[in-house]
Amino acid sequence: MIDPYGSSVLQPRFVSHRQVRLELIKEASKLPKLMMNASAAANVVMLGAGYFNPLEGFMGLAEALRCAEKMQAQDDLFWPIPIINVCKDVTAIQKSRRIALLDPNNALNQVLAIMDVDDIEPVSREQLSLMANEIFSTADLEHPGVSTFTNLGSYLISGKVEVLNFSYYPTDFPATFQTANQIRDRIAELGWQKVVAFQTRNPMHRAHEELCRMAMERLDADGVIVHMLLGKLKQGDIPADVRDSCIRLIAEKYFPRNKMLVSGYGFDMLYAGPREAILHAIVRQNMGATHLIVGRDHAGVGNYYTAFQAQEIFTNKYVKEALDINIFCADHTAYSKKLGSVVMMNEVKDHDKSDFLLISGTEVREMLINGRKPPPEFCRSEVVSMLMEHYQS
Decide if pLDDT at 282 tops 90.
yes
In a domain, 13, yes or no: no
In a domain, 12, yes or no: no
Q: Do 146 and 185 sit in the same domain of this protein?
A: no
Instruction: Note the helical H segments in the chain.
Output: 18-28, 38-48, 61-70, 125-136, 144-150, 169-172, 180-190, 206-219, 240-254, 274-286, 309-312, 317-322, 361-369, 381-392
Decide if pLDDT at 48 tops 80.
yes
Q: Do 288 and 149 sit in the same domain of this protein?
A: no
In a domain, 56, yes or no: yes
Query: How much of the chain, in percent, has pLDDT values that exceed 70?
Result: 99
Q: Do 204 and 325 sit in the same domain of this protein?
A: yes
pLDDT for 106-152, tens place per residue? 888 899 999 999 999 999 999 999 999 999 999 999 999 999 999 99
The domain boundary residue, chosen from 116, 138, 167:
167
Decide if pLDDT at 324 tops 70.
yes
Tally the domains of the chain.
2
In a domain, 5, yes or no: no
Decide which of 237 and 183 is more confident: 183
> Given this model, what pLDDT does residue 187 score?
98
Q: Do 64 and 158 sit in the same domain of this protein?
A: yes
Q: Do 196 and 52 sit in the same domain of this protein?
A: no
Which CATH number characterizes residue 96's domain? 3.10.400.10
Q: Do 157 and 216 sit in the same domain of this protein?
A: no
Q: Do 25 and 122 sit in the same domain of this protein?
A: yes
365 flagged as catalytic: no
In a domain, 4, yes or no: no
Contact 377, 335 (CB under 8 A): yes
pLDDT for 84-101, tens place per residue? 999 999 999 998 999 999
In a domain, 159, yes or no: yes
> Given this model, what pLDDT does residue 367 score?
87
> Given this model, what pLDDT does residue 103 score?
96
Active-site entry in 202, 213, 248, 365:
202
Decide which of 311 and 393 is more confident: 311
β-pairing, 223-229 vs 260-265, is parallel
Range with the poorest average pLDDT among 43-47, 53-57, 256-260:
256-260
Decide if pLDDT at 236 tops 80.
no
Active-site entry in 201, 213, 248, 365:
201
Decide which of 291 and 388 is more confident: 291
Q: Do 157 and 214 sit in the same domain of this protein?
A: no
The stretch 150-157 carries a mean pLDDT of 97
Which CATH number characterizes residue 255's domain? 3.40.50.620
The stretch 347-351 carries a mean pLDDT of 91
Cis, peptide link before residue 32, omega less than 30° from 0:
no
> Given this model, what pLDDT does residue 383 score?
92
The domain boundary residue, chosen from 150, 167, 184:
167
> Given this model, what pLDDT does residue 167 score?
96
The domain boundary residue, chosen from 147, 167, 187:
167
Which amino acid, one-letter code, is at 247?
Answer: I
> Given this model, what pLDDT does residue 108 score?
86
Query: How much of the chain, in percent, has pLDDT values that exceed 90?
Result: 82
> With a threshold of 0.85, does the pTM exceed it?
yes
Q: Do 178 and 141 sit in the same domain of this protein?
A: no
In a domain, 156, yes or no: yes
201 flagged as catalytic: yes
The stretch 18-24 carries a mean pLDDT of 98
Q: Do 162 and 176 sit in the same domain of this protein?
A: no
Q: Do 151 and 286 sit in the same domain of this protein?
A: no
Domain holding 104, by residue range, is: 18-167
- What is the rounded CA–CA span in Å between residue 250 and residue 56? 37
Q: Which residues of 1-38 are buried (b: 16+ CB within 10 A; e: fewer)?
A: ebebbbeeebebbbbeeeeebeebbeebeebbbbebbb
The rounded radius of gyration (Å) of the Cα atoms in the chain is: 21
In a domain, 337, yes or no: yes
Q: Do 322 and 235 sit in the same domain of this protein?
A: yes
